[in-house]
Copies of this chain bind each other. A is one copy, B any other.
């Protein structure tokens, strides 16, 4: 029924006639049409809770950039909020949690019945799915349990997330309890996204890179596995930024796709995760270059990944100061590319 299901075919390991492509953070940030919408609401969170506007900004990159998928515009931090931990989005600074999780009591107070509170996301998905009219798949998403945990303990962005990591070393039992609650909430959240129309889901482990491999194996991977095991109806993409050491282990999960940041060589990823479809991984800064260099860098990457079991993307979200014409050109280059293999 989908007119363009290239991303789903690639995710399932089926042959695709050309390489599919989308951009992390394609909805928002670089599009003037997004900024217009954003400037006409009181704040970021008002936008995230407005299904009509979400639908509008989610469709913008499909119309303007001609990407092969839409990704629902939302925020990974809706989960802690639905669990009972409110946050503010502070302009040009990022998220801030007035209260953070410190004790057993704090963890006990958190709810895992998040679905009812996240109706605005599900309404947005239904509306968007309808408006997309089967042009391209709709991607749902959530933050990975470790990343959500990091924010709930640290209370804001951090270079080291040393407070969050401190709990792993000083109170691992409590850390596991909180991670489990986040995981249960996230599974329910993703399952409801799928029920409402998400064709594929991505789990973003944005702060994976602050963990050692041993800590990732103990405090992050088991929860990623639970999510992969619970989502049976659509493909799951796992993206653990800067966790260069985890490809072998991700290859053993039930995920369909592994997202890669730009520090991972395509050959290394192919050899360490041979059974999975790979996604990524152009350095977002390549989009600052002129068109001939964008073409050169992109084609070098496409050639290295090959045309099958591959979804083209950046290695992280597109940076806010990138000219959207450059992003559009990148998409064109991918669509016009013919690999040798």
Residue of chain B at shortest CB distance from A161: B285
Asked if residues A265 and B285 are in contact (CB atoms below 8 Å), the reply is no
Question: With A160-B319, A283-B212 given, is the CB distance from A263 to B289 under 8 Å?
Answer: no
**Bound Cα distance A215, B209 (Å):** 20
Partner of A245, one of B157, B170, B244, B319: B244
- A162-B263 in contact (CB<8A): no
B-side contacts of A162, CB under 8 Å: 284-285, 288, 319, 321
Task: Say yes or no for A213: interface residue by CB 8 A criterion.
Answer: yes
Main secondary structure of the interface of A (DSSP, over half): loop
A–B complex contacts, Cβ < 8 Å, 18 sampled: A157-B159, A160-B284, A160-B319, A162-B285, A162-B288, A162-B319, A166-B288, A168-B285, A169-B285, A169-B286, A169-B293, A212-B262, A212-B263, A213-B263, A215-B283, A242-B242, A244-B244, A245-B265
Residues of A within 8 A of B (CB): 157, 159-160, 162, 165-166, 168-170, 209, 211-213, 215, 242-245, 262-265, 268, 283-286, 288-290, 293, 315, 319, 321
Pairs A-B, 7 closest by C-beta atoms = A169-B289, A165-B285, A166-B288, A244-B244, A212-B262, A212-B283, A169-B288
Interface contacts beyond A168-B285, A209-B263: sample of 18 additional A-B pairs, CB < 8 Å, sorted by A? A160-B284, A160-B319, A162-B288, A165-B285, A166-B285, A169-B285, A169-B286, A169-B288, A169-B289, A170-B290, A211-B263, A212-B262, A213-B263, A213-B265, A242-B242, A243-B263, A244-B245, A244-B263
